[in-house]
Amino acid sequence: MDAIILQILNGLDKGSAYALIALGLTLIFGTLGVVNFAHGALFMIGAFCAVTLSRLFSLSHKVAVPGETDFLGNPLMRDVPYIYDVFGEATGSAIIDWAVPLSILFAIPVMIAVGVIMERGLIKHFYKRPHADQILVTFGLAIVLQEVIKYYYGANPIPTPAPEMFKGSADLGILLGYEANSIIYPTWRLVYFGFAAVVIGAVFAFLQFTTFGMVVRAGMADRETVGLLGINIDKRFTIMFGLAAAVAGLAGVMYTPINSPNYHMGMDFLVLSFVVVVVGGMGSLPGAVAAGFLLGILESFASMREVINLIPGINQVIIYLVAIIILLTRPRGLMGRKGVMED
């Protein structure tokens, strides 16, 4: 039982990342009708916002350490961050420690700007073009973004740790009456799950309860009529693109302590997030979220060794197998609308 609870936790955690990415993808697709292959790159750029900020905080000048030498025998230079000079060592190191959460504040404006520039500069010319053209241009953009990041940050993963207080793990088993060590879970992953829930909730609330959201939803249903009513739907859709980019970026920022970011992390998530979106049903926000969590949980269960011993290789294919079964039994995924992307 405790093993199952543990895998459900894992599933929720993986599912949060899938759901956040799929949510943004669906927002763009649902509002603009664009298949955005650069969405994974947005996730990656979000993660590198965190990397950039922590590098900015850690900008240092060199101070020689007396009595020690480096690998070539020259005097050893130790880095002292400028931030220590400004705020003193205690506050300075606390700021560096909290770089990842602080990056959220940094990433939101950056990602919205990236999203709006992308939409105005490129995507808007592709609304009327076939989906194949949209795929090609956004894929090209994804490669370019990825290569630019690689040029500046290298190909290796860059460690971006969580604040000290969130390192380590929490023993949830004791709370539920199990023995110690039976259900331990990393604190930061719990934070990630909570964060994802808040972001998803906020997006839904925004669409459901604000006038802006109402107009956008109306535009998703029938863009032309909304336009005829004299509402500038294009402007709102641009903002939605920025919002979707911000959601992907935030997912990336918070993901950095879980896995050290590298330049191709977006591509790694891209295919998976498309599977999630399609399984959820094209154009359905709740579908995307539900499919994210469902696939996350199933993937976790499939990686248990009891299951692998029973069906070798199941952990390799589970996501795709589930996708096939769902698409064959439910023609438009879990909650898809009829006629969307079916031709």
Q: Toward other proteins, which CB reaches closer, 238 or 273?
A: 273
Our CB check for other proteins shows the closer of 136 and 215 to be 136
Smallest gap from residue 126 Cβ to other proteins (A) = 8
Q: Biggest alpha carbon distance in the chain?
A: 77
**Nearer to other proteins by C-beta: 192 or 241?**
192
Radius of gyration over alpha carbons of the chain, in Å? 22
Other Cβ atoms within 10 Å of 251 Cβ, number = 28
Phi/psi at 64 (nearest 5 deg)? -70, 140
Q: Which is nearer to other proteins, 88 or 168 (CB)?
A: 168
Q: Give min distance, CB of 109 to other proteins, in A.
A: 25
Q: How far is the CB of 228 from other proteins (least distance, A)?
A: 27
What residues have CB less than 8 Å from 196, skipping those under 6 apart?
A: 16, 17, 19, 20, 251, 254
In the complex, the smallest distance separating the C-beta of residue 85 from other proteins, rounded to whole angstroms, is 21
Give the shortest CB-57-to-other proteins separation in angstroms: 15
Residue closer to other proteins, measured from CB, 211 or 306: 306
Nearer residue to other proteins within complex by CB, 19 or 279 = 279
Could you tell me the smallest distance in angstroms from the CB atom of residue 86 to other proteins? 23
> Smallest distance from the beta carbon of 11 to other proteins, in angstroms?
8
Give the nearer residue to other proteins in terms of CB position, either 148 or 215.
148
